[in-house]
Amino acid sequence: MRVLLALTLLVLGMPALADNYQRLYQAAGWPEQRAHFNDALHAAQKRYQGNLPPALYQALVDNSNRRFAAADIDQRALSSLRQNLPDSTSALTFFESPLGHKVATAETFATRSDQLLKYANGLPRQQASEARHQLVQRLGKVLPAREAGAEVSLALASVAADSLSQMLPGLLGGGQAQGMLEGQRQKLMGQIGADLDNTLLYVYRGLDDAELGQFTAFSESPAGRDYYRAALAALRAGLSVSSDGQ
């Protein structure tokens, strides 16, 4: 009887456990960020329209829409989050708190298409106290901003390359393509890192010093580090970009 009761509780508890990941996915702003990525994807597609033959352009649109279908991105990312974050409790508690909501709102606002267009030539320089600078420097060591920015940029840039490779198989050998991809990844990470402090100051400008300190403390905690490691893996899975660039 005890074994039966234990199995029953386990089965009943599994949907609740799974739902925590769904709640975390929602609370941390993943669906909004995915929607903003798809907006950027459609803008990238339009930039190629006047420069490619109709057949190649249509292949580009079809390939990228298939690869980056919204439901598929969500499914891959959420599955990866479940796999790589054994305990979602602390991260969920943070992102469902008023401060966590404020953080997620700031991050999703910064990636809206109108904001990206507005600051396409660079963000305004942020004035901040030395204490605030120190907080964002600490954040920059924990948040995978360089890596995430590079993966998103590479995913968008790969749209044309994927279509060209499909129409002209063997144009780039696997080793050559891999080397170019990794070189571009490192270049992008360097560019993002060069202005990371100012970017973080801008994105989180709506947080006061105490809130920024609390956010930094969560990010540096074991639970925060676990979440951001899992989040980067989930981003790569969602975009079908693995940690080794495959």
Residue 243 in any domain: the answer is: no
Q: d(Cα 16, Cα 88) in Å, to the nearest integer?
A: 12
- What integer pLDDT is reported at residue 1 of this predicted model? 47
- What integer pLDDT is reported at residue 72 of this predicted model? 94
Please answer whether residues 181 and 154 qualify as being in contact, where contact means their C-beta atoms are separated by less than 8 angstroms. Answer: yes
- What integer pLDDT is reported at residue 164 of this predicted model? 57
Please give the tally of structural domains in the chain: 1
pLDDT single digits (tens) 187-225: 889 989 899 999 999 999 999 999 999 999 999 999 999
Residue 13 in any domain: the answer is: no
Residue 14 in any domain: the answer is: no
Q: d(Cα 82, Cα 159) in Å, to the nearest integer?
A: 28
Residue 2 in any domain: the answer is: no
Residue 244 in any domain: the answer is: no
- What integer pLDDT is reported at residue 57 of this predicted model? 87
The CA-to-CA distance between both ends of the chain, in Å, stands at 50
Residue 50 in any domain: the answer is: yes
Q: At what angle do helices 209-220 and 222-238 cross, to 10 degrees?
A: 80
What are 1's two structure tokens?
Answer: 């009887």
Q: d(Cα 155, Cα 76) in Å, to the nearest integer?
A: 15
- What integer pLDDT is reported at residue 182 of this predicted model? 74
- What integer pLDDT is reported at residue 162 of this predicted model? 60
What are 114's two structure tokens?
Answer: 């109108």
H or E stretch including 155? helix 145-167
- What integer pLDDT is reported at residue 81 of this predicted model? 97
Half-sphere CA count of 131, side-chain side, radius 13 A? 6
Residue 60 in any domain: the answer is: yes
The residue segments making up the domain with residue 216 are 19-238
* pLDDT digit string (tens) for the chain, length 246 residues: 444 444 444 444 444 445 899 999 999 999 999 999 999 999 989 988 888 888 888 888 988 898 899 999 999 999 999 999 999 999 999 999 999 999 999 999 999 999 999 998 899 999 999 999 999 999 999 999 999 999 999 888 887 666 555 555 554 454 444 556 677 888 889 989 899 999 999 999 999 999 999 999 999 999 999 999 999 999 999 998 544 433
Residue 246 in any domain: the answer is: no
Half-sphere CA count of 49, side-chain side, radius 13 A? 8
- What integer pLDDT is reported at residue 47 of this predicted model? 87
Q: d(Cα 231, Cα 155) in Å, to the nearest integer?
A: 16
